[in-house]
Amino acid sequence: MVVNPLPIAEPAPGIAPSGGRPCGTVKVLLRPLGVGLCSLLLLALATQAQANTFFRVINEQGVVELKATITPAEAKRGYSIVNLGGNVVKEVAPELTAEEYAKLSEEMKAERDLEERKKQARLYDESLLLRYSSVVDLEAERKRKLNEFDVRISILRNNLYTLKGKAVTQQATAANLERRGAEVPQQLVQNIVDLESEMKEAEASIAARIVEKQKVAEKYDADAQRLDELLKLTYR
């Protein structure tokens, strides 16, 4: 007769056989438990540390106070967070007033303007060094530009001289007619008015060109002085 062997009982998950080590299932269950305990411990430490800090504020009377909590008004005035030893953990600056914001904005604008002026000055220097190799080159260009102004001014003066001649002729004709008792034609009167208007425009153009020429001359003089300084620094 064949006797079937009795089945060997498998150990339950998490229970080690006699004299053996706990199986892997127990380890898996214990690991999350260990992480949870660590988190609780860290939370407890953080809570304890927070409980050992205070807000240091200056009240409306100017007196320093240590408080567990502060009001929104006190927070706006600025505060410090200190520990039991009196050491500052964190500083919070007071909120800026509208006037302080405006002043800060003006200061920032002034800084930007200063940076822009420095940038333009740097570009100006670079432009001078690229355009001219010497002050002599710059002065030669200055002479050519001023001569061009002289030519234009001379043309305007010649035109003005011509207009004055025409006006004198027209006025003389009108005067002769008046002396003879004749009526001065309306067209002749209008011609004299138009010539006088053209002469005023010509005189204004001449004056404007003279002012423009003076400004260009001054600009070239300033460029020559700055170029001389840059070249001396370059070849020092």
Residue 54 pairs in a beta bridge with: 82
pLDDT in the model for residue 39: 54
Identity at 2, one-letter amino acid code: V
CB 27 within 8 A of CB 63: no
27 three-state secondary structure: helix
pLDDT in the model for residue 85: 79
* Rg value, the chain, Cα: 48
Give phi and psi for 53, each to the nearest 5: -120, 155
Structure token digits, residue 155: 């043309």
Sign of the torsion angle spanned by Cα atoms 92, 94, 95, 100: negative
53/60 Cα distance (integer angstroms): 22
* Per-residue model confidence as pLDDT tens digits over 212-232: 999 999 999 999 999 999 998
* Per-residue model confidence as pLDDT tens digits over 1-20: 444 444 444 444 444 444 44
CB 15 within 8 A of CB 23: yes
Query: Which residues fall within 8 angstroms of residue 53, CB to CB, at 6 or more apart?
Result: 81, 82, 83, 84, 89
Span of 91-95, 203-207, 216-220 with lowest mean pLDDT: 91-95
Query: Over pLDDT 90: what percentage of the chain?
Result: 48
CB 140 within 8 A of CB 189: no
Please compute the mean of the pLDDT values over residues 97-103 and round it to a whole number: 81
Order across the sheet with 53-58: list the strands: 64-67, 53-58, 79-83, 88-92
48/69 Cα distance (integer angstroms): 16
Q: Which of these, 40, 221, 91, 44, lies nearest to 146 by C-alpha position? A: 221
Q: Which of these, 226, 12, 208, lies nearest to 129 by C-alpha position? A: 226
132 three-state secondary structure: coil
CB 65 within 8 A of CB 58: yes
